[in-house]
Structure 1
Amino acid sequence: MPKNIYVFLAEGFEETEAIATIDLLRRAGLPTHIVTIEDEPHVTGAHGIAVQADLSIREVYSADVRALVLPGGLPGVSNLDASPRLHELIQDAVAEGKILAAICAAPSIYGRLGLLEGKEAIAYPGFEGQLHGAKVSANPVVRSGNFITAKSAAYTFDFALALIEALESKEKADEVASAIVYHRP
């Protein structure tokens, strides 16, 4: 079974959503890799924080994917959406029943690709109209089939813990939450 979780970063990503999610996934013992969609290994977030990626998108193969994670932030989401290779990996993940997660403005990528049809989803306020075919949820974090979406940076811990629960177990998510003294809603 594929084991890798790939978190994709593009210039202008939302740092809290990316870094906190990566941190919690790694605390859960999940092999989580930071992937840049550009050739340069350093990616700078929307608030000037630079991160060194583990891999280039050219080094990610569908057969290795367990989950794809898209943080929000602008212009990060626009830059992610402009990547044909990312679209290809997303389509492969959908076809293979892998977990696809996105937070903030990033669920709009799945929506514009027509992947949320008939699913429940949420996005940053103002991006709900780009969740084509989805039932927009009132919940800040939603799992619908293989998709996990979240509203904003304020819900990053809940988003990451929902991913851990989907990939491992509720017990593992509770263990990670307890270790950081976070009380899940």
Structure 2
Amino acid sequence: MTKPSAVILVADGSEEIEFVTAFDVLVRAGFNVRSIAVRRADAQQNRAWVELSRGLKIIPDQDGFANSNADDIESDILIIPGGGPGAKTLSEDKVTLELLHRCRREGKWIACICAGTTALVASASSFPEQGKVKVTSHPSVKDEIVAKGWEYEEERVVVDGKVITSRGPGTALLWALTIVELICGKEKRMEVEGPMITSTVL
């Protein structure tokens, strides 16, 4: 059986807990996970690492998009972490927005958390034919999302079709486990969360 695959986008200023939690949980669930750096045009380009919101430096699996083309990226799910500065970079990156649009057009999974939901909103602004779904986010960007006509909920994780959104660092584990359950089934989720000693199995 082919392993499910995930791509996690990351930028300077992405939120540590959200990025690392998604990466960790999906690897535990047997996903092939690949991280791709998205850099601002004015960012220092001659370094391998990305500096996250609290100063943690990570080296992504891939630096940028090959040939600047969203069609080069294949996975079962595209994951967008939050963190204000990182989410701003992703929301303004043309290839990221095209990739989000292509995933929705092809019926693939998308998962955004915290301010990362604003990248999904920006993609729909660029490609209005993709429409809006129910979402959540960090409270700090709620007004921005609602002002653009999106239906907003304040649940810890919101699933609408193949879009999974969540609120922030404190909901990252639930968000990641929800991704596992939706793609791989409840049994796989239980297999993953048992050894992690999550509150749901205590």
Aligned residues: 185
Change in CA separation of 1:169 and 1:21 when aligned onto 2, cut-off 3 Å: same
* Counterpart mapping for 1:22-171 below 5 A: 22-38=23-39, 40-59=47-66, 61=71, 64-114=74-124, 117-131=131-145, 132-171=148-187
Higher helix share: 2
Q: Which amino acid aligns with 1:5?
A: A
- TM-score with structure 1 setting the length: 0.91
Alignment CA distance shift 1:63-1:69 (3 Å): closer
Kindly provide the CA deviation profile for residues 160-185 of structure 1, in whole angstroms up to 9, marking residues without a partner as x. 00111122111111211111010339
**In the alignment, which residue of structure 1 is the partner of 2:16?**
15
Please report how far the alpha carbon of residue 133 of structure 1 lies from its aligned counterpart in structure 2 after TM superposition: 3.0
Q: Does the residue aligned with 1:35 lie in a helix, a strand or coil?
A: strand
State the distance in 2 between where 1:30 and 1:111 align. Answer: 27
- CA separation of 1:62 and 1:69: change in aligned 2, threshold 3 A: same
User: Structure 2: how far apart are the matches of 1:48 and 1:123?
Assistant: 23
Looking at structure 1, the residues matched to 114 and 134 of structure 2 have their Cα atoms a distance apart, in angstroms, of: 15
The alpha carbon displacement at 1:117 in A equals 4.5
Q: Cα RMSD between the aligned structures?
A: 2.1
Structure 1 unaligned residues grouped into runs of 5+: none
Whether the aligned pair in 2 keeps the contact of 1:62 and 1:93 (CA below 8 Å) is: no
Matched residue of 2:139: which SS?
coil
More strand by share: 1
Using structure 2 for the length normalisation, give the TM-score: 0.84
Structure 2, gaps ≥5 residues long: 40-44
- How far does residue 61 in structure 1 lie from its aligned partner after superposition? 4.1
Specify the structure having the higher radius of gyration (Cα).
2
| Deviating more after overlay: 31-40 vs 81-90 | 31-40
Q: Aligned to 1:8, what secondary structure does the other structure show?
A: strand
What amino acid is the match of 2:51?
T
3-state SS in 2 of match to 1:105: helix
Q: Deviations over 1:137-179 (max 9, x none)?
A: 1311111101000011000100100111122111111211111
CA distance in 1 between counterparts of 2:176 and 2:61 reads 19
Distance 2:87 2:135 in 1: 17
Question: For residues 2-47 of structure 1, what are the alpha-carbon distances to aligned partners after superposition, in whole Å with 9 as ceiling and x for unaligned?
Answer: 9421000000010000001100000000011111013543111010
CA deviations over 1:106-158 (Å, ceiling 9, x no partner): 11121233378552211101212233333211311111101000011000100
